[in-house]
Amino acid sequence: MDLKLQIFFIAFALVFLTVVLRYLVIKKFNLKYALVWLLTATVLLVLAIFPKLAIWAAGLIGIQLPVNAIFLFAILFAFIIILTLTAIVSHMNKRVYRITQMQAILEKRVRELEEKIAESGKNDSD
Amino acid sequence: MKVLVIIPAYNESENIEKVVDDLIENYPQYDYVVINDCSTDNTEEILVKRGYNYISLPANLGIGGAVQSGYIYAWENGYDVAVQTDGDGQHDPAYIKDLIAPIEAGEADMTIGSRFIEKKGFQTSFMRRLGIGFIRVVIRLTCGTRATDTTSGFRATNKELTAYFAKEYAQDYPEPEAIVAASLNGFRVRDVAVRMREREGGVSSINALRSVYYMIKVSLALLILRLGTRKKKKKKTKEVS
Protein backbone atom coordinates (compact mmCIF):
# COMPACT_ATOMS: atom_id res chain seq x y z
CA MET A 1 0.00 0.00 0.00
CA ASP A 2 1.11 3.51 -0.74
CA LEU A 3 2.69 5.17 2.29
CA LYS A 4 0.67 8.36 1.84
CA LEU A 5 -2.53 6.33 1.80
CA GLN A 6 -1.38 4.38 4.84
CA ILE A 7 -0.68 7.57 6.80
CA PHE A 8 -4.06 8.93 5.80
CA PHE A 9 -5.80 5.75 7.00
CA ILE A 10 -3.92 5.73 10.31
CA ALA A 11 -4.72 9.41 10.92
CA PHE A 12 -8.34 8.90 9.99
CA ALA A 13 -8.69 5.84 12.24
CA LEU A 14 -7.05 7.68 15.14
CA VAL A 15 -9.32 10.73 14.81
CA PHE A 16 -12.30 8.43 14.46
CA LEU A 17 -11.35 6.46 17.57
CA THR A 18 -10.70 9.66 19.54
CA VAL A 19 -14.08 11.11 18.62
CA VAL A 20 -15.89 7.92 19.66
CA LEU A 21 -13.96 7.73 22.94
CA ARG A 22 -14.51 11.42 23.62
CA TYR A 23 -18.26 11.05 23.11
CA LEU A 24 -18.23 8.08 25.44
CA VAL A 25 -16.32 9.99 28.12
CA ILE A 26 -18.63 13.01 28.05
CA LYS A 27 -21.55 10.55 28.08
CA LYS A 28 -22.96 11.61 24.73
CA PHE A 29 -22.78 7.96 23.64
CA ASN A 30 -24.21 5.01 25.43
CA LEU A 31 -21.50 2.34 25.55
CA LYS A 32 -24.03 -0.31 24.54
CA TYR A 33 -24.67 1.45 21.25
CA ALA A 34 -21.10 2.67 20.70
CA LEU A 35 -19.45 -0.76 20.94
CA VAL A 36 -19.86 -1.44 17.25
CA TRP A 37 -18.27 1.94 16.44
CA LEU A 38 -15.32 1.18 18.73
CA LEU A 39 -14.87 -2.15 17.01
CA THR A 40 -14.96 -0.53 13.57
CA ALA A 41 -12.43 2.12 14.54
CA THR A 42 -10.09 -0.44 16.10
CA VAL A 43 -10.19 -2.80 13.11
CA LEU A 44 -9.61 0.13 10.78
CA LEU A 45 -6.61 1.24 12.83
CA VAL A 46 -5.11 -2.26 12.96
CA LEU A 47 -5.54 -2.70 9.20
CA ALA A 48 -3.97 0.71 8.55
CA ILE A 49 -0.96 -0.04 10.74
CA PHE A 50 -0.49 -3.58 9.42
CA PRO A 51 -1.47 -3.39 5.77
CA LYS A 52 -0.16 -6.97 5.37
CA LEU A 53 -3.29 -8.10 7.20
CA ALA A 54 -5.39 -6.28 4.64
CA ILE A 55 -3.36 -7.80 1.81
CA TRP A 56 -3.77 -11.25 3.31
CA ALA A 57 -7.54 -10.78 3.78
CA ALA A 58 -7.85 -9.36 0.27
CA GLY A 59 -6.07 -12.38 -1.19
CA LEU A 60 -8.34 -14.66 0.81
CA ILE A 61 -11.47 -13.41 -0.96
CA GLY A 62 -9.77 -12.75 -4.30
CA ILE A 63 -9.46 -8.98 -4.18
CA GLN A 64 -6.44 -7.69 -6.17
CA LEU A 65 -5.96 -4.33 -4.47
CA PRO A 66 -5.67 -4.37 -0.64
CA VAL A 67 -7.14 -0.87 -0.40
CA ASN A 68 -10.31 -2.28 -1.91
CA ALA A 69 -10.41 -4.79 0.92
CA ILE A 70 -10.33 -1.92 3.41
CA PHE A 71 -13.17 -0.19 1.55
CA LEU A 72 -15.13 -3.42 1.57
CA PHE A 73 -14.67 -3.85 5.32
CA ALA A 74 -15.65 -0.24 5.91
CA ILE A 75 -18.88 -0.76 3.96
CA LEU A 76 -19.62 -4.01 5.76
CA PHE A 77 -19.17 -2.33 9.12
CA ALA A 78 -21.44 0.50 8.00
CA PHE A 79 -24.10 -2.08 7.14
CA ILE A 80 -23.79 -3.71 10.53
CA ILE A 81 -24.06 -0.33 12.25
CA ILE A 82 -27.16 0.65 10.25
CA LEU A 83 -28.73 -2.71 11.01
CA THR A 84 -28.16 -2.31 14.75
CA LEU A 85 -29.55 1.23 14.52
CA THR A 86 -32.75 -0.13 12.94
CA ALA A 87 -33.06 -2.60 15.79
CA ILE A 88 -32.45 0.14 18.35
CA VAL A 89 -34.98 2.50 16.77
CA SER A 90 -37.62 -0.26 16.67
CA HIS A 91 -36.99 -1.07 20.30
CA MET A 92 -37.15 2.58 21.34
CA ASN A 93 -40.31 3.07 19.30
CA LYS A 94 -41.98 0.31 21.27
CA ARG A 95 -40.92 1.88 24.55
CA VAL A 96 -42.04 5.37 23.52
CA TYR A 97 -45.47 3.91 22.69
CA ARG A 98 -45.72 2.26 26.07
CA ILE A 99 -44.60 5.38 27.91
CA THR A 100 -47.08 7.55 25.98
CA GLN A 101 -49.91 5.16 26.80
CA MET A 102 -49.04 4.84 30.46
CA GLN A 103 -48.59 8.59 30.80
CA ALA A 104 -52.04 9.17 29.31
CA ILE A 105 -53.65 6.62 31.62
CA LEU A 106 -51.87 8.13 34.63
CA GLU A 107 -52.94 11.62 33.54
CA LYS A 108 -56.53 10.38 33.60
CA ARG A 109 -56.13 9.04 37.14
CA VAL A 110 -54.51 12.25 38.36
CA ARG A 111 -57.23 14.34 36.71
CA GLU A 112 -59.96 12.28 38.36
CA LEU A 113 -58.25 12.38 41.75
CA GLU A 114 -57.92 16.15 41.54
CA GLU A 115 -61.60 16.46 40.69
CA LYS A 116 -62.48 14.24 43.63
CA ILE A 117 -60.32 16.28 46.01
CA ALA A 118 -61.78 19.55 44.74
CA GLU A 119 -65.26 18.17 45.24
CA SER A 120 -64.65 16.91 48.80
CA GLY A 121 -63.04 20.26 49.64
CA LYS A 122 -66.20 21.97 48.51
CA ASN A 123 -68.35 19.63 50.59
CA ASP A 124 -66.23 20.26 53.71
CA SER A 125 -66.62 24.00 53.44
CA ASP A 126 -70.39 23.69 53.12
CA MET B 1 -70.25 -8.77 32.95
CA LYS B 2 -68.37 -5.49 32.97
CA VAL B 3 -68.22 -4.20 29.41
CA LEU B 4 -65.99 -1.37 28.24
CA VAL B 5 -66.51 0.30 24.87
CA ILE B 6 -63.24 1.71 23.51
CA ILE B 7 -63.73 4.68 21.18
CA PRO B 8 -60.51 5.80 19.47
CA ALA B 9 -60.83 9.36 18.19
CA TYR B 10 -58.47 11.31 15.98
CA ASN B 11 -59.88 14.64 14.82
CA GLU B 12 -63.45 13.47 15.32
CA SER B 13 -64.94 16.71 16.62
CA GLU B 14 -67.80 16.39 14.11
CA ASN B 15 -68.92 12.95 15.24
CA ILE B 16 -67.68 12.30 18.73
CA GLU B 17 -70.55 13.95 20.60
CA LYS B 18 -73.19 12.03 18.68
CA VAL B 19 -71.37 8.74 19.17
CA VAL B 20 -70.79 9.14 22.91
CA ASP B 21 -74.20 10.65 23.67
CA ASP B 22 -75.88 7.72 21.91
CA LEU B 23 -73.92 5.32 24.12
CA ILE B 24 -74.61 7.20 27.34
CA GLU B 25 -78.33 7.68 26.70
CA ASN B 26 -79.28 4.39 25.09
CA TYR B 27 -76.74 1.91 26.42
CA PRO B 28 -75.99 2.87 30.03
CA GLN B 29 -75.16 -0.77 30.80
CA TYR B 30 -71.81 -0.34 29.02
CA ASP B 31 -68.91 1.74 30.28
CA TYR B 32 -66.98 3.63 27.67
CA VAL B 33 -63.68 5.41 27.25
CA VAL B 34 -62.70 7.78 24.47
CA ILE B 35 -59.04 7.65 23.43
CA ASN B 36 -58.05 11.02 22.04
CA ASP B 37 -55.04 10.26 19.83
CA CYS B 38 -53.52 13.73 20.13
CA SER B 39 -56.14 15.28 17.86
CA THR B 40 -55.23 18.59 16.24
CA ASP B 41 -58.82 19.85 16.15
CA ASN B 42 -60.97 20.63 19.19
CA THR B 43 -61.83 17.01 20.00
CA GLU B 44 -60.20 17.29 23.43
CA GLU B 45 -62.07 20.51 24.19
CA ILE B 46 -65.35 18.70 23.51
CA LEU B 47 -64.32 15.78 25.73
CA VAL B 48 -63.53 18.14 28.61
CA LYS B 49 -66.59 20.34 28.13
CA ARG B 50 -69.00 17.42 28.00
CA GLY B 51 -67.36 15.68 30.94
CA TYR B 52 -66.83 12.47 29.00
CA ASN B 53 -64.65 9.65 30.27
CA TYR B 54 -61.49 9.98 28.21
CA ILE B 55 -57.79 9.27 27.90
CA SER B 56 -55.74 11.84 26.03
CA LEU B 57 -52.50 10.63 24.46
CA PRO B 58 -49.69 13.22 24.64
CA ALA B 59 -48.36 12.12 21.23
CA ASN B 60 -50.11 10.79 18.14
CA LEU B 61 -49.67 7.01 18.13
CA GLY B 62 -52.03 6.04 15.32
CA ILE B 63 -55.01 3.73 15.56
CA GLY B 64 -53.01 0.74 16.89
CA GLY B 65 -51.42 2.59 19.78
CA ALA B 66 -54.68 4.38 20.59
CA VAL B 67 -56.76 1.21 20.69
CA GLN B 68 -54.07 -0.53 22.72
CA SER B 69 -54.33 2.24 25.33
CA GLY B 70 -57.98 1.26 25.59
CA TYR B 71 -57.04 -2.39 26.07
CA ILE B 72 -54.55 -1.44 28.79
CA TYR B 73 -57.24 0.65 30.50
CA ALA B 74 -59.78 -2.20 30.22
CA TRP B 75 -57.30 -4.67 31.62
CA GLU B 76 -56.19 -2.43 34.50
CA ASN B 77 -59.80 -1.82 35.48
CA GLY B 78 -60.85 -5.46 35.38
CA TYR B 79 -63.32 -5.37 32.52
CA ASP B 80 -64.68 -8.74 31.36
CA VAL B 81 -65.23 -7.62 27.78
CA ALA B 82 -63.58 -4.87 25.77
CA VAL B 83 -65.49 -3.67 22.72
CA GLN B 84 -63.68 -1.66 20.09
CA THR B 85 -65.63 0.79 17.92
CA ASP B 86 -64.81 3.76 15.73
CA GLY B 87 -65.23 7.33 16.82
CA ASP B 88 -66.86 8.28 13.53
CA GLY B 89 -70.29 6.76 14.10
CA GLN B 90 -70.23 4.00 11.50
CA HIS B 91 -70.74 1.34 14.15
CA ASP B 92 -74.21 1.06 15.65
CA PRO B 93 -73.93 0.25 19.37
CA ALA B 94 -77.17 -1.77 19.04
CA TYR B 95 -74.96 -4.61 17.77
CA ILE B 96 -72.68 -4.63 20.80
CA LYS B 97 -74.93 -7.18 22.47
CA ASP B 98 -74.53 -9.47 19.46
CA LEU B 99 -70.78 -9.03 19.60
CA ILE B 100 -70.47 -9.90 23.26
CA ALA B 101 -73.01 -12.77 23.29
CA PRO B 102 -70.56 -15.47 22.03
CA ILE B 103 -67.95 -14.18 24.50
CA GLU B 104 -70.38 -14.30 27.42
CA ALA B 105 -71.33 -17.83 26.40
CA GLY B 106 -67.64 -18.76 26.35
CA GLU B 107 -67.82 -19.78 22.70
CA ALA B 108 -65.30 -17.27 21.40
CA ASP B 109 -62.44 -15.15 22.71
CA MET B 110 -62.86 -12.51 20.06
CA THR B 111 -65.76 -11.52 17.84
CA ILE B 112 -65.56 -9.38 14.75
CA GLY B 113 -68.52 -7.41 13.50
CA SER B 114 -68.92 -8.18 9.80
CA ARG B 115 -71.16 -6.29 7.37
CA PHE B 116 -70.71 -9.02 4.76
CA ILE B 117 -72.71 -11.79 6.43
CA GLU B 118 -76.16 -10.28 6.06
CA LYS B 119 -74.92 -8.00 3.29
CA LYS B 120 -77.11 -5.22 4.62
CA GLY B 121 -76.30 -1.65 5.54
CA PHE B 122 -73.31 0.25 4.17
CA GLN B 123 -71.20 -2.15 2.09
CA THR B 124 -68.32 0.25 1.23
CA SER B 125 -66.80 0.77 -2.22
CA PHE B 126 -65.93 -2.01 -4.68
CA MET B 127 -62.20 -1.33 -4.38
CA ARG B 128 -62.38 -1.43 -0.61
CA ARG B 129 -64.28 -4.73 -0.74
CA LEU B 130 -61.65 -6.12 -3.09
CA GLY B 131 -58.92 -5.23 -0.62
CA ILE B 132 -60.85 -6.68 2.30
CA GLY B 133 -61.38 -9.88 0.27
CA PHE B 134 -57.68 -10.10 -0.51
CA ILE B 135 -56.78 -9.78 3.18
CA ARG B 136 -59.43 -12.41 3.92
CA VAL B 137 -57.50 -14.88 1.73
CA VAL B 138 -54.17 -13.94 3.31
CA ILE B 139 -55.62 -14.45 6.80
CA ARG B 140 -57.11 -17.78 5.76
CA LEU B 141 -53.73 -18.91 4.44
CA THR B 142 -51.67 -17.69 7.40
CA CYS B 143 -53.79 -18.94 10.27
CA GLY B 144 -56.82 -20.75 8.88
CA THR B 145 -59.27 -18.35 10.47
CA ARG B 146 -62.34 -17.39 8.49
CA ALA B 147 -63.07 -13.71 8.95
CA THR B 148 -65.18 -11.94 6.36
CA ASP B 149 -64.81 -8.28 7.33
CA THR B 150 -61.08 -8.30 7.91
CA THR B 151 -60.58 -4.58 8.46
CA SER B 152 -63.62 -4.11 10.65
CA GLY B 153 -62.79 -2.09 13.74
CA PHE B 154 -66.01 -3.20 15.43
CA ARG B 155 -64.95 -6.10 17.62
CA ALA B 156 -65.01 -7.50 21.11
CA THR B 157 -62.46 -9.42 23.19
CA ASN B 158 -62.68 -11.35 26.43
CA LYS B 159 -60.52 -10.68 29.49
CA GLU B 160 -57.71 -13.03 28.47
CA LEU B 161 -57.34 -11.62 24.99
CA THR B 162 -57.65 -8.06 26.30
CA ALA B 163 -54.67 -8.79 28.54
CA TYR B 164 -52.77 -10.15 25.54
CA PHE B 165 -53.57 -7.10 23.41
CA ALA B 166 -52.60 -4.81 26.29
CA LYS B 167 -49.12 -6.32 26.01
CA GLU B 168 -48.84 -6.88 22.28
CA TYR B 169 -50.75 -5.03 19.57
CA ALA B 170 -49.85 -4.00 16.02
CA GLN B 171 -49.27 -0.30 15.44
CA ASP B 172 -50.12 0.85 11.96
CA TYR B 173 -53.00 -1.14 10.45
CA PRO B 174 -53.79 -3.40 13.36
CA GLU B 175 -57.17 -4.90 12.48
CA PRO B 176 -56.05 -7.83 10.27
CA GLU B 177 -52.93 -8.40 12.34
CA ALA B 178 -54.94 -8.67 15.53
CA ILE B 179 -57.06 -11.46 14.00
CA VAL B 180 -53.96 -13.44 13.00
CA ALA B 181 -52.11 -12.78 16.27
CA ALA B 182 -55.13 -13.92 18.28
CA SER B 183 -55.64 -17.03 16.14
CA LEU B 184 -51.99 -18.04 16.20
CA ASN B 185 -51.95 -17.73 19.97
CA GLY B 186 -54.83 -20.13 20.37
CA PHE B 187 -57.68 -17.66 20.80
CA ARG B 188 -60.97 -18.41 19.07
CA VAL B 189 -62.09 -15.74 16.63
CA ARG B 190 -65.64 -15.60 15.37
CA ASP B 191 -67.56 -13.49 12.86
CA VAL B 192 -70.77 -11.79 13.96
CA ALA B 193 -73.24 -10.18 11.56
CA VAL B 194 -73.63 -6.41 11.98
CA ARG B 195 -74.79 -3.53 9.84
CA MET B 196 -72.61 -0.50 9.44
CA ARG B 197 -73.45 3.07 8.56
CA GLU B 198 -71.59 5.31 6.20
CA ARG B 199 -69.39 7.68 8.15
CA GLU B 200 -71.08 11.03 8.53
CA GLY B 201 -68.20 13.43 8.88
CA GLY B 202 -64.43 13.53 9.00
CA VAL B 203 -62.11 11.54 6.77
CA SER B 204 -61.36 7.82 6.97
CA SER B 205 -57.83 6.99 8.02
CA ILE B 206 -57.20 4.96 4.83
CA ASN B 207 -57.29 6.86 1.54
CA ALA B 208 -57.09 5.46 -2.00
CA LEU B 209 -53.46 6.43 -2.56
CA ARG B 210 -52.24 4.54 0.44
CA SER B 211 -54.19 1.37 -0.31
CA VAL B 212 -51.48 -0.40 -2.32
CA TYR B 213 -48.94 0.33 0.40
CA TYR B 214 -51.53 -0.90 2.87
CA MET B 215 -52.06 -4.21 1.07
CA ILE B 216 -48.36 -4.95 0.76
CA LYS B 217 -47.64 -3.99 4.34
CA VAL B 218 -50.54 -5.93 5.81
CA SER B 219 -49.71 -9.06 3.80
CA LEU B 220 -46.07 -8.86 4.84
CA ALA B 221 -47.00 -8.26 8.46
CA LEU B 222 -49.30 -11.27 8.47
CA LEU B 223 -46.67 -13.52 6.86
CA ILE B 224 -44.00 -12.39 9.32
CA LEU B 225 -46.41 -12.97 12.18
CA ARG B 226 -47.03 -16.48 10.89
CA LEU B 227 -43.30 -17.16 10.64
CA GLY B 228 -42.68 -15.93 14.16
CA THR B 229 -45.43 -17.77 15.98
CA ARG B 230 -45.84 -21.46 16.35
CA LYS B 231 -49.52 -22.13 16.15
CA LYS B 232 -51.08 -23.13 19.44
CA LYS B 233 -53.90 -25.58 19.63
CA LYS B 234 -57.29 -23.98 19.66
CA LYS B 235 -59.17 -24.30 22.86
CA LYS B 236 -62.14 -26.59 22.63
CA THR B 237 -65.42 -24.78 22.40
CA LYS B 238 -67.42 -25.23 25.57
CA GLU B 239 -70.30 -27.58 24.97
CA VAL B 240 -73.60 -25.80 25.43
CA SER B 241 -76.00 -28.18 27.07
Name the domain count of chain A.
Answer: 1
Q: For residue range A78-92, list pLDDT tens digits in order.
A: 898 899 899 999 999
CB of B54 within 8 Å of any CB in chain A? yes
Helix H, strand E, coil C: the string for B44-109 is HHHHHHCCCCEEECCCCCHHHHHHHHHHHHHHHCCCCEEEECCCCCCECHHHHHHHHHHHHCCCCC
Instruction: Report residue A102's pLDDT band, with 50, 70 and 90 as the boundaries.
Output: very high
Q: What is residue A51's predicted lDDT score, i.e. its pLDDT?
A: 82
Q: For residue range B157-172, list pLDDT tens digits in order.
A: 999 999 999 999 988 7
Q: Do the beta carbons of residue B43 and residue B16 sit within 8 Å?
A: yes
Domain containing A83 equals 3-125
Render the burial of A35-58: b for 16+ CB within 10 Å, e for the rest: eebbebbebbbebbeebebbbebb
- Chain A closest-CA separation from residue B187 CA (Å): 24
H or E element at residue B23: helix B16-26
Provide the ipTM.
Answer: 0.84
Instruction: Tally A–B CB contacts below 8 A.
Output: 36
Q: Look up residue B210 and give its amino acid.
A: R
Q: According to DSSP H, which parts of chain A are helical?
A: 3-25, 31-49, 51-60, 66-125
Q: What is residue B208's predicted lDDT score, i.e. its pLDDT?
A: 65
Cβ–Cβ below 8 Å for B69 and A96: no
pTM, whole model, 2 decimals?
Answer: 0.83
pLDDT exceeds cutoff 70 at B207: no
Q: Do the beta carbons of residue B199 and residue B207 sit within 8 Å?
A: no
Q: What is residue B189's predicted lDDT score, i.e. its pLDDT?
A: 95
Tell which B residues from 104 to 163 touch A, by Cβ distance under 8 Å: none
Cβ–Cβ below 8 Å for A105 and B56: no
Contacts of B76 in chain A (CB under 8 A): 105
Architecture, CATH, for domain B3-228: Alpha-Beta Complex (3.90)
Q: What does the domain layout of chain B look like in residue ranges?
A: 3-228
H or E element at residue B131: helix B126-143
CB of B55 within 8 Å of any CB in chain A? yes
Q: What is residue A125's predicted lDDT score, i.e. its pLDDT?
A: 65
Q: How many CB atoms lie within 10 A of CB B13?
A: 18
Nearest residue to B135 (alpha-carbon basis) of B126, B122, B148: B148
- What's the rounded Cα separation, in Å, for the pair A61 and B60? 49
Candidate ranges A1-5, A15-19, B224-228; pick with highest mean pLDDT? A15-19
Q: What is residue B162's predicted lDDT score, i.e. its pLDDT?
A: 97
pLDDT exceeds cutoff 80 at B230: no
- Chain A closest-CA separation from residue B212 CA (Å): 24
Q: Do the beta carbons of residue B181 and residue B218 sit within 8 Å?
A: no
Instruction: Report residue B87's pLDDT band, with 50, 70 and 90 as the boundaries.
Output: confident
pLDDT exceeds cutoff 60 at B237: no
Q: For residue range A12-66, list pLDDT tens digits in order.
A: 889 989 999 999 999 888 888 888 888 888 888 888 888 888 788 888 888 888 7
Nearest residue to B169 (alpha-carbon basis) of A26, A97, A16, A84: A97
**Looking at residues A98-107, what average pLDDT do you find?**
97
Best of B6, B33, B36, B55 to substitute, by most chain A Cβ atoms within 10 angstroms, is B55
**Looking at residues B49-59, what average pLDDT do you find?**
95
Measured between CA atoms, the residue of chain B closest to residue A106 is B55
Q: Do the beta carbons of residue A58 and residue A69 sit within 8 Å?
A: yes
pLDDT exceeds cutoff 90 at B113: yes
Cβ–Cβ below 8 Å for A105 and B55: yes
pLDDT exceeds cutoff 50 at B76: yes
Q: What is residue A31's predicted lDDT score, i.e. its pLDDT?
A: 85
Q: What is residue B29's predicted lDDT score, i.e. its pLDDT?
A: 95
Measured between CA atoms, the residue of chain B closest to residue A104 is B57
Q: Look up residue B18 and give its amino acid.
A: K
Cβ–Cβ below 8 Å for A97 and B65: yes
pLDDT exceeds cutoff 50 at B238: no
Instruction: Report residue B226's pLDDT band, with 50, 70 and 90 as the boundaries.
Output: confident
Q: What is residue B240's predicted lDDT score, i.e. its pLDDT?
A: 43
Q: What is residue A122's predicted lDDT score, i.e. its pLDDT?
A: 79
pLDDT exceeds cutoff 80 at B232: no
Contacts of B10 in chain A (CB under 8 A): none
- Chain B closest-CA separation from residue A123 CA (Å): 20
Return the percentage of chain B with pLDDT > 90, whole number.
Answer: 62
- What's the rounded Cα separation, in Å, for the pair A21 and B103? 58
- Chain A closest-CA separation from residue B60 CA (Å): 9
